[in-house]
């Protein structure tokens, strides 16, 4: 071992490995009313990415309704955003029709955007650690719920004879771009198939159906709230992503400027899941 390496090793032993502090220079577009005239339901909108998206949509002129299971969180978040809210459990598919009727009243009719954002990950320690209940809970919330809520939304649009483009946006995940043996990744892979299947089938009925697929983003779900240090080795550029930067992409996908995009899953992870041969 040369003298410099020996000095570094001794310094680490005496002082510990130095903490790496990573910050990010994030840029956002100025609000331009690009979502004016949009009436948007955001599931899981009380916190995390759903909250960031709902807030951004409202800033862009949309009328927004957020949903979730915790009414006190919804009430607090809705007051901050200045939007409507309704309690909704994504596993209770039988409640979706009555939910849509209430949402229609709160948004004043002609709801034209649905954001299927609500989801859970139980972070099991591998395939052998997954229980039947954990499997069912994630598939019910992440796949079955969005499937049937989208069905109810499209039935609503048909009944209302909705004019113009109707946007449906899903929150997928970077895990959908790779193989997985745990339920969360499997639900997101299946979700991508649903997104593209619906997009292809219903484009001529005025639907644009797309998804954002974030990398590891600061949220309660990943157990990270601190924004002072964004360091995360497993992400492409060594940092966590912020929900606001994913919300910026989501805002564009709900705008009429994106009408040529359909069935697209925009992976927001700076290329981490690209299958490059030199990895």
CA angle 55, 59, 65 (to 5 degrees): 50
Contact between 245 and 273 under an 8 Å Cβ cutoff? The reply is: no
Alpha carbons 125 and 216: distance in angstroms, whole number: 17
How does 30-55 read in b/e, with b if 16+ C-beta sit within 10 Å? eeeebbeebbbbbbbbbbbbbbbbbb
pLDDT of 9 reads: 57
Which backbone phi and psi does 5 adopt, to 5 degrees? -65, -40
Alpha carbons 159 and 151: distance in angstroms, whole number: 12
Compute CA 158 distance to the chain's CA centroid, rounded to the nearest angstrom.
26
Instruction: Work out the number of other CB atoms within 10 angstroms of the CB of residue 181.
Output: 11
pLDDT of 92 reads: 98
pLDDT of 231 reads: 84
Contact between 189 and 177 under an 8 Å Cβ cutoff? The reply is: no
Average pLDDT over residues 157-170: 96
Nearest to 50 by CA among 22, 94, 83, 28: 83
Q: Which two tokens stand for residue 169?
A: 């946006």
Nearest to 180 by CA among 170, 168, 192, 196: 192
pLDDT of 4 reads: 56
pLDDT in tens, 48-70: 999 999 999 999 999 999 999 99
| Least confident segment among 102-106, 173-177, 224-228, 245-249 | 224-228
pLDDT in tens, 164-215: 999 999 999 999 999 999 999 999 999 999 999 999 999 999 999 999 999 9
Alpha carbons 20 and 231: distance in angstroms, whole number: 7
Alpha carbons 129 and 125: distance in angstroms, whole number: 6
Is-above-0.85 flag for pTM? yes
């Amino acid at each position: 071992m040369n003298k410099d390496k020996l000095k570094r090793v001794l310094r680490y032993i005496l002082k510990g490995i130095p903490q790496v502090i990573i910050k990010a220079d994030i840029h956002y577009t100025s609000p331009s009313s690009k979502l004016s005239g949009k009436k948007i339901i955001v599931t899981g909108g009380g916190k995390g990415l759903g909250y960031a998206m709902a807030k951004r949509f409202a800033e862009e002129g949309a009328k927004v309704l957020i949903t979730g299971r915790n009414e006190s969180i919804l009430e607090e978040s809705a007051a901050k955003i200045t939007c409507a809210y309704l309690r909704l459990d994504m596993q209770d598919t039988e409640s979706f029709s009555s939910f849509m009727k209430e949402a229609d009243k709160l948004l004043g009719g002609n709801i034209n955007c649905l954001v299927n954002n609500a989801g859970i990950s139980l972070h099991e320690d591998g395939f052998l650690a997954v229980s039947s209940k954990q499997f069912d809970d994630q598939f019910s919330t992440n796949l079955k719920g969005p499937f049937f809520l989208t069905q109810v939304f499209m039935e609503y649009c048909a009944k209302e004879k909705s004019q113009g483009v109707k946007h449906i946006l899903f929150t997928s995940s970077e895990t959908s771009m790779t193989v997985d043996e745990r339920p969360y990744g499997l639900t997101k892979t299946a979700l991508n198939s649903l997104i593209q299947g619906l997009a292809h089938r219903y484009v001529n009925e005025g639907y644009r159906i797309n998804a954002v697929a974030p990398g590891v983003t600061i949220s309660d779900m990943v157990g990270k709230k601190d924004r002072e240090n964004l360091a995360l080795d497993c992400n492409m550029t060594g940092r966590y992503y912020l929900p606001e930067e994913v919300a910026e992409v989501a805002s564009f996908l709900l705008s009429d400027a994106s009408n040529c995009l359909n069935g697209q899953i925009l992976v927001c992870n700076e290329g981490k899941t690209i299958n490059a041969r030199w990895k």
